[in-house]
Amino acid sequence: MRKIIIDKPFNIDFSEYKGKIPTIQDYDEVIREECQIYEKDKLICTYKQVSPEIKKIIAYASANSTSKKSQRTRGTFTQSTVFGALPRVPLREDYCRFSADTKQNPKMFHLLSKVAQELWGIYKTDFPEMSQYFEKEANLINKDWVKTGTPFSTININKGFAIKYHVDAGNMANVFSNVIISKRMAKGGYFVMPQYRIALAQDDGWLAIVDGVNVMHGVTPIEFESNTSFRNSFVFYTLKNLKQCECKPLELSRMKNKATERALKRLNGDKELKKLQNKRMVNG
């Protein structure tokens, strides 16, 4: 495996890159071989192919999973499918739960859990200290919400989306991000790290594990060659807010209580509205 050592990254202003589309001017080389990228003596990225079995699973998931418009932590909209556990969202879904896709398609969640297990093996091999920390932190989450057989609780399938420059947020701190690509008859979609002047080709079945919190990154535009083309990214992660979740029975009880509260609020609101309407009729 090729070893790339960056002694001195380019000094870039993150604020100038954030939200912009990566271009060919942002990198000097497109990496198409398995490699590990170091910043001096620290491993910051592993790039390699997944096994043939995992490649088949993500191709199956690409063809057989639905998608809907969703919003990332920093406001970017994507077409995506979510499997696994989700934390409370105040004012919207203030209870922990499994995604609708997990409930509707447990077979798919089971298959994606196999992908998570291979991925976890790579984490343990290439990033042993980080993996120990990740496992310890994930063990603080109630086991009802971590069901992949690994510390990863949640999976996103992002469909046909080239995200602009950003750094990652919302996931468990001090744990590197990852992305696996399933791709057919599509060009572009390079994973660009401008401070290293490097782009990863991200061909079909390739995995990148990267320090996404500290390394600015984005994806170049994707060109689809036919109406059957696709380029999907699979991201495995654990949301830090899952630590707030109680066991599943207590969260189900919380869900019912919140539903009752919303129903009563609507009922009281309707009563107040009716009183106001009646008052206006009386006053002519």
- Give the Å distances, CA to CA, from 233 to 91, 102, 159: 30, 18, 7
Distance of CA 182 to the CA centre of its chain: 15
- Pairing type for strands 29-31 and 198-200 reads parallel
Q: What is the rounded CA–CA span in Å between residue 225 and residue 271?
A: 57
Beta-bridge partner residues of 21: none
pLDDT of residue 78: 61
Please give the structure tokens belonging to residue 16.
């100038």
Share of the chain above pLDDT 90, in %: 76
Give the residue among 35, 87, 27 at the shortest CA–CA distance from 251. 87
pLDDT at 270 over 80: no
pLDDT of residue 75: 43
pLDDT of residue 93: 85
Phi/psi at 182 (5° precision): -115, 125
pLDDT at 77 over 70: no
At 115-135, the pLDDT tens digits run 999 999 999 999 999 999 999
For 16-44, b where at least 16 C-beta lie within 10 A, e where not — what string? Answer: ebeeeebeeebbeeebeeebbbebeeebb
> In whole numbers, what is the pLDDT of the chain averaged over residues?
90
What is the pTM for the complete model shown?
0.87
Beta-bridge partner residues of 98: 85
Beta-bridge partner residues of 177: 210
At 237-266, the pLDDT tens digits run 998 899 999 999 999 898 888 777 766 777
Phi/psi at 201 (5° precision): -65, -30
At 177-193, the pLDDT tens digits run 999 999 999 999 999 99
Give the residue among 10, 59, 7, 2 at the shortest CA–CA distance from 192. 10
Q: What is the rounded CA–CA span in Å between residue 247 and residue 93?
A: 16
Q: Are 196 and 9 in contact (CB under 8 A)?
A: yes
Structure confidence at residue 269 as a pLDDT band (50, 70, 90): low
Give the residue among 129, 134, 119 at the shortest CA–CA distance from 178. 119
Structure confidence at residue 267 as a pLDDT band (50, 70, 90): low
Structure confidence at residue 283 as a pLDDT band (50, 70, 90): low
Lowest-pLDDT choice from 50-59, 84-93, 116-125: 84-93
Q: Report the chain's C-alpha Rg in angstroms.
A: 22
For the beta carbon of residue 46, count every other beta carbon within 10 angstroms: 21
pLDDT of residue 256: 84
Domain ranges of the chain: 2-245, 248-284
Mean pLDDT for 46-50 is 98
Mean pLDDT for 98-102 is 96
pLDDT of residue 276: 56
Give the residue among 86, 118, 119, 120 at the shortest CA–CA distance from 102. 86
Give the residue among 206, 225, 209 at the shortest CA–CA distance from 217. 209
Q: What is the CATH number of domain 2-245?
A: 3.60.130.30
At 202-238, the pLDDT tens digits run 999 999 999 999 999 999 999 999 999 999 999 999 9
pLDDT of residue 265: 73
State the first-to-last Cα distance of the chain, in angstroms, to the nearest integer: 83
Residue that wins the pLDDT comparison between 201 and 277: 201
Give the residue among 264, 241, 260, 211 at the shortest CA–CA distance from 89. 241
Q: What is the rounded CA–CA span in Å between residue 134 and residue 112?
A: 19
